[in-house]
Amino acid sequence: MALQMIESQVLDATHLELSRPIQIRPRSKVMIAVMASDDVLDEREAWFRFAAAQFQAAYGEDEPEYTLDMIREPNPEYKP
């Protein structure tokens, strides 16, 4: 199963209440990462900053412009 991030609330030392249902077989083993709410928000914000920086690097000011005469083999399925 793929990694899922689901918020939950601690009911007591052995029980959690999930914010939404998950599709998993009963008695399946899961891994839980415990983070305080502030830590979750800080980490999420860090991921957003990282993603924005990577997007900027990929499509930055120094990205070259490609002209039609530079195309060696046109894509026959392209519809402008």
Mean pLDDT by groups of 10 residues along the chain of 80 residues: 79 90 89 78 89 86 82 88
CA 53-57-59 angle, to 5 degrees, is 115
Map out the domains of the chain as residue ranges.
29-58
Position 56, amino acid? Q
Q: What is the pLDDT of residue 58?
A: 83
Residue 47 CA, distance from chain mean position? 8
Q: What is the pLDDT of residue 5?
A: 80
Distance CA 51, CA 57 (A): 10
User: What pTM, to 2 d.p., does this model score?
Assistant: 0.38
